[in-house]
A and B are shown apart, each in its own frame.
Chain A
Amino acid sequence: MLRRCLIVDDNERFLEIARISLERQGLEVVGTATTIAEALLEASVVRPDVVLVDVALGTESGFELTRRLVEDFPELRARVVLISTRGEEDLADLIASSPAAGFLSKSLLSAAAVRGLVDAGGS
Chain B
Amino acid sequence: MADAQFRPRMFSWLSGLLTGAVLVAAVSGLIALLAEHVPVLSLLVLYLLAVLPIALLWGSALAAVVAVASVAAFIFLFLNPVQVRMTEQQTLFPLAVFLLTAVAVGQLGARSQQQARESARLSDEQAALRRVATLVAHSTPALEVFEAVTREVGLLCGADLARLERYEEDGSVTGVAAWSRVPVRLAVGTRFALEGLSVAAQVRLTGGPVRVDGFEGASGPIAEEALDLKIRWSVGCPIVVAGHLWGVIAASSRNDVPFPVNTEAQLADFTELVATTIENAQGRAEISQLLENQAALRRLATLVARNTPAAEVVSAVASEVGSVIGATATVIVRLDADGLFTVAARAGERRDLMGAGSRWTIEPPHVVATAVATGRPALFEGYGRLSGRLADELRQLDIHAALAIPIMVGERTWGALCIASRDIRFPTGTEQRMEAFTELVSIAIADAESAAELAASRARIVTASDEARRQIERDLHDGAQQRLVTLGLELSILQSSLHPSLGEVRSGIVRISEELSEVIDELREMSRGIHPAILSEGGLSPALRALARRSTIPVELDVRTQARFREPVEVAAYYVVSEALTNMTKYADASYATVVMEERYGTMRLSVQDDGVGGADPARGSGLVGIRDRVEALGGSFEVNSPIEEGTLIQVCLPIQPE
Residue of A nearest to B476 (CB): A85
Residue B590 lies at the interface, judged by CB distance under 8 Å to chain A = no
Residue B88 lies at the interface, judged by CB distance under 8 Å to chain A = no
CB distance from B49 to the nearest CB of A (A): 135
Contact yes or no, A85 B537, CB < 8 A: no
A82-123 contacts to B, CB under 8 A, are 85-87, 89-94, 106-107, 109-110
Complex formed: what's the CA distance from A120 to B463 in Å? Answer: 43
B24-67 contacts to A, CB under 8 A, are none
Contact yes or no, A24 B485, CB < 8 A: no
Chain A to chain B contacts (Cβ below 8 Å), 21 pairs: A10-B478, A11-B478, A13-B482, A14-B485, A21-B489, A55-B537, A56-B537, A61-B537, A85-B482, A85-B520, A86-B528, A87-B524, A89-B550, A91-B538, A92-B542, A92-B549, A93-B541, A94-B534, A94-B542, A107-B485, A107-B488
Beyond known contacts A14-B486, A92-B546: 11 more, CB 8 A cutoff: A13-B486, A17-B489, A56-B477, A61-B537, A86-B533, A89-B549, A90-B533, A92-B545, A106-B485, A106-B489, A107-B485
Q: Please indicate the chain B residues that have their CB under 8 angstroms from the CB of A89 in the complex.
A: 546, 549-550
Q: Please indicate the chain A residues that have their CB under 8 angstroms from the CB of B550 in the complex.
A: 89
Query: Which of A10, A20, A90 has its CB near the most chain B CB atoms (within 10 A)?
Result: A90
Q: Please indicate the chain A residues that have their CB under 8 angstroms from the CB of B524 in the complex.
A: 85-87
CB distance from B199 to the nearest CB of A (A): 98
Stretch in contact with the other chain, from B133-141, B396-404, B490-498? B490-498
Q: Please indicate the chain B residues that have their CB under 8 angstroms from the CB of A110 in the complex.
A: 492
A16-41 contacts to B, CB under 8 A, are 17-18, 20-21, 24
Q: Please indicate the chain A residues that have their CB under 8 angstroms from the CB of B496 in the complex.
A: 24
Complex formed: what's the CA distance from A12 to B550 in Å? Answer: 33
Residue B80 lies at the interface, judged by CB distance under 8 Å to chain A = no
CB distance from A101 to the nearest CB of B (A): 19
Contact yes or no, B537 A107, CB < 8 A: no
Q: Is the interface of A mostly helix, strand, loop or mixed?
A: helix
Known: A11-B486, A13-B483, A85-B481. A91 touches B534 (CB 8 A): yes
Complex formed: what's the CA distance from A21 to B487 in Å? Answer: 12
Residue B552 lies at the interface, judged by CB distance under 8 Å to chain A = no
Q: Please indicate the chain A residues that have their CB under 8 angstroms from the CB of B532 in the complex.
A: 90
Set A14, A17, A18, A86: member contacting B477, Cβ < 8 A = A86
Set B486, B534, B537, B538: member contacting A17, Cβ < 8 A = B486
Complex formed: what's the CA distance from A89 to B478 in Å? Answer: 19
Residue B517 lies at the interface, judged by CB distance under 8 Å to chain A = yes
CB distance from B11 to the nearest CB of A (A): 125
CB distance from A74 to the nearest CB of B (A): 24
Complex formed: what's the CA distance from A109 to B478 in Å? Answer: 17
Complex formed: what's the CA distance from A90 to B497 in Å? Answer: 34
Contact yes or no, A107 B538, CB < 8 A: no
Complex formed: what's the CA distance from A16 to B490 in Å? Answer: 10
Residue of A nearest to B538 (CB): A94
- 5 closest residue pairs by CB, A with B: A93-B542, A85-B481, A94-B538, A106-B485, A17-B489
Residue of A nearest to B524 (CB): A87
Q: Please indicate the chain A residues that have their CB under 8 angstroms from the CB of B541 in the complex.
A: 93
Complex formed: what's the CA distance from A97 to B482 in Å? Answer: 25
Q: How many residues of A contact B (CB 8 A)?
A: 26
Complex formed: what's the CA distance from A71 to B528 in Å? Answer: 32
CB distance from B191 to the nearest CB of A (A): 84
B469-525 contacts to A, CB under 8 A, are 477-478, 481-483, 485-486, 488-490, 492-493, 496-497, 516-517, 520, 524
Q: Please indicate the chain A residues that have their CB under 8 angstroms from the CB of B492 in the complex.
A: 21, 110
Q: Please indicate the chain A residues that have their CB under 8 angstroms from the CB of B488 in the complex.
A: 107
Q: Please indicate the chain A residues that have their CB under 8 angstroms from the CB of B486 in the complex.
A: 11, 13-14, 17
Q: Please indicate the chain B residues that have their CB under 8 angstroms from the CB of A86 in the complex.
A: 477, 524, 528, 533-534
Q: Which size bracket describes the interface of B in this complex?
A: 20 to 34
CB distance from A20 to the nearest CB of B (A): 6
Contact yes or no, B546 A93, CB < 8 A: yes
Contact yes or no, B528 A17, CB < 8 A: no
Set B483, B520, B537: member contacting A91, Cβ < 8 A = B537
Q: Please indicate the chain A residues that have their CB under 8 angstroms from the CB of B533 in the complex.
A: 56, 86, 90
CB distance from A37 to the nearest CB of B (A): 20
Complex formed: what's the CA distance from A24 to B497 in Å? Answer: 9
Contact yes or no, A93 B545, CB < 8 A: yes
Contact yes or no, A93 B537, CB < 8 A: no
CB distance from A89 to the nearest CB of B (A): 6
Complex formed: what's the CA distance from A93 to B516 in Å? Answer: 27
Q: Please indicate the chain B residues that have their CB under 8 angstroms from the CB of A93 in the complex.
A: 538, 541-542, 545-546
Complex formed: what's the CA distance from A93 to B543 in Å? Answer: 8
Contact yes or no, A94 B537, CB < 8 A: yes
Contact yes or no, A90 B534, CB < 8 A: yes
Complex formed: what's the CA distance from A108 to B486 in Å? Answer: 11
Known: A56-B537, A61-B537, A94-B537. A85 touches B542 (CB 8 A): no
**A-contact bits for B135-171, CB 8 A (1 contact / 0 none):** 0000000000000000000000000000000000000
Query: Which of A24, A55, A63, A93 has its CB near the most chain B CB atoms (within 10 A)?
Result: A93
Contact yes or no, B490 A17, CB < 8 A: yes
Complex formed: what's the CA distance from A36 to B398 in Å? Answer: 73
CB distance from A42 to the nearest CB of B (A): 21
**B-contact bits for A59-89, CB 8 A (1 contact / 0 none):** 0010100000000000000000000011101
Q: Please indicate the chain B residues that have their CB under 8 angstroms from the CB of A10 in the complex.
A: 478
Contact yes or no, A107 B545, CB < 8 A: no
Complex formed: what's the CA distance from A116 to B534 in Å? Answer: 26
Q: Please indicate the chain A residues that have their CB under 8 angstroms from the CB of B497 in the complex.
A: 24
CB distance from A25 to the nearest CB of B (A): 8
Residue of B nearest to A10 (CB): B478
CB distance from B501 to the nearest CB of A (A): 20
Contact yes or no, A21 B493, CB < 8 A: yes
**A-contact bits for B207-228, CB 8 A (1 contact / 0 none):** 0000000000000000000000
Residue of A nearest to B528 (CB): A90
Known: A87-B528, A92-B546, A94-B542. A20 touches B493 (CB 8 A): yes
Complex formed: what's the CA distance from A83 to B307 in Å? Answer: 52
CB distance from A97 to the nearest CB of B (A): 8
Known: A87-B524, A89-B549, A93-B542. A63 touches B489 (CB 8 A): no
Complex formed: what's the CA distance from A90 to B485 in Å? Answer: 18
Complex formed: what's the CA distance from A23 to B379 in Å? Answer: 93
Known: A20-B493, A90-B534, A94-B537. A14 touches B542 (CB 8 A): no
Q: Please indicate the chain A residues that have their CB under 8 angstroms from the CB of B534 in the complex.
A: 86, 90-91, 94
CB distance from A26 to the nearest CB of B (A): 12
CB distance from A118 to the nearest CB of B (A): 20
